[in-house]
Amino acid sequence: MGQIRRVVLAYSGGLDTSVILKWLQEQYGCEVVTFTADLGQGEELEAARRKALQLGVKEEHVFIEDLRETFVRDFVFPMFRANAVYEGEYLLGTSIARPLIAKRQIEIAQIVGADAVAHGATGKGNDQVRFELAYYALMPEIRVIAPWREWDLTSRERLLAYAERHGIPVEAKPESGRAPYSMDANLLHISYEGGILEDPAVEPEEEMWRWTVAPERAPDQPEYVSLFFERGDLVAIDGERLPPHALLARLNALGGKHGVGRLDLVENRFVGMKSRGCYETPGGTILLKAHRAIESLTLDREVAHLKDELMPRYASLIYNGFWFSPEREALQALIDHTQQNVNGTVRVKLYKGSVQVVGRSSPRSSLFDATLATFEEDYGAYRQKDAEGFIRLQALRMRVAARRQQQREERT
């Protein structure tokens, strides 16, 4: 392979990626372009610009972009149309962010004429797979540099020593006694790993959680919220239409206030190991509950059941990094087709860590027919006598099997 002249680094401005920036310059003798995505992580990203410039990156090669609306509209919402949940619990907050970061990283590589892209994911985790599958799907011949699979800086102490030798600014150390969690945040969630969480038997410290109050400390009065959907996407909260990212931020604030969306999970990583992570997904938890509720009113039974059968496969594709795969895109086309009439309002009650659906309506799309479902007089809308033949036909194969079993028993 030829010499690398220019590389685009997915850059957060933290210790790891700052060390990577300097290591790339030193190891490859190349020019580094940094890309920092604002996905709603709530951090002051201009600090990343200042640090990149301090480490020798040209001003025109420091990219910091607000991708919050794109993230929610084009990645989070399509995923929630599928009701995607990994291993029954995880709402895929980290997984769904990686393809967007990788996509924009490749676009910047094409703009600046880069030979390679680089990321700060370790060789043990899922993110290396997610980033690199996306890179190759979008730019098949791109060179990929994954420093954690190459260097010998395998501990925080070594990273800090390298930073000191090269004059890399390091953030103030956390207060004494605070667990050193590895965190990843965006508008959909915050994830926590490492530290005391590496023992699955240890309960997380209350101080770890950033977005949600403890359910027992949440307000003693429930709060009712109305969510309005069009074609499967949330478009308004309590009658107010907002952009997608603003809607999710609003749900995060509401859910966090009431202690909604905490998760403590041992999951199966794609690379083969089990890992323990904790997650806060307040807005996503509300959104999933409400979306399923409006689907219950507007989706045909067999379509709804088919979606539920496909959902685990769809969720695994996202978790494992196959967002840009043809099979995910095919599933998305089917899912989006099912959402044409998923329109209406869902009313939820938030109370001490729970989300309860208390009402749903869809004047134009509802398949609920009160004249059929009523326990009162239906005036002939449904002929109950028809159920007799339906049941006998459904029982036919079981009756045949039962007769055979009786005959075998009689012969013995």
- In the predicted model, is pLDDT for residue 162 greater than 90? yes
Q: What is the pLDDT of residues 344-354, one digit of tens each?
A: 999 999 999 99
Nearest Cα neighbor of 198 from 181, 174, 178, 176 is 181
Task: Compute and round to an integer the Cα radius of gyration of the chain.
Answer: 26
The average pLDDT across 98-124 equals 97
From the candidates 12, 16, 18, 360, give the one annotated as an active-site residue: 16
Sheet holding 143-145, edge to edge: 62-66, 31-38, 6-10, 116-118, 143-145
In the 8-state DSSP scheme, what is residue 44? -
Higher pLDDT, 10 or 14: 10
The CA–CA distances, whole Å, from 365 to 79, 171, 231, 287, 296 equal 22, 53, 10, 19, 11
Three-state DSSP at 294 gives: helix
**Among this protein's residues, is 16 annotated catalytic?**
yes
**Among this protein's residues, is 182 annotated catalytic?**
yes
Q: What is the pLDDT of residues 255-311, one digit of tens each?
A: 999 999 999 999 999 999 999 999 999 999 999 999 999 999 999 999 999 999 999
- In the predicted model, is pLDDT for residue 355 greater than 50? yes
d(CA 150, CA 148) in angstroms, rounded, equals: 6
CATH code 3.40.50.620 for 6-67+94-165: yes
d(CA 39, CA 155) in angstroms, rounded, equals: 28
- In the predicted model, is pLDDT for residue 171 greater than 80? no
Q: Please, what is the average pLDDT of the chain?
A: 95
Q: What is the pLDDT of residue 169?
A: 86
Helices (H), 301-355: 301-320, 326-338
The architecture in CATH of the region 182-299+341-361 reads: Alpha-Beta Complex (3.90)
Specify the length of the chain in residues: 412
**How many other C-beta atoms lie within 10 A of the C-beta of residue 395?**
11
From the candidates 38, 182, 325, 336, give the one annotated as an active-site residue: 182
Task: Fill in the amino acid letter for 409.
Answer: E
- In the predicted model, is pLDDT for residue 178 greater than 50? no
Q: What is the pLDDT of residue 179?
A: 46
- In the predicted model, is pLDDT for residue 51 greater than 80? yes
Query: Which pTM was predicted?
Result: 0.94
From the candidates 98, 250, 262, 328, give the one annotated as an active-site residue: 98
Q: What is the pLDDT of residue 180?
A: 62
Band (pLDDT 50/70/90 cuts) for residue 133 is: very high
d(CA 50, CA 85) in angstroms, rounded, equals: 38
Q: Where are the domains of the chain?
A: 6-67+94-165, 182-299+341-361, 370-406
From the candidates 115, 127, 184, 233, give the one annotated as an active-site residue: 127
Higher pLDDT, 145 or 175: 145
Q: What is the pLDDT of residue 152?
A: 93
Band (pLDDT 50/70/90 cuts) for residue 177 is: very low
Q: What is the pLDDT of residue 1?
A: 54
- In the predicted model, is pLDDT for residue 357 greater than 90? yes
**Among this protein's residues, is 127 annotated catalytic?**
yes
Q: What percent of the chain has pLDDT over 90?
A: 92
Band (pLDDT 50/70/90 cuts) for residue 174 is: very low
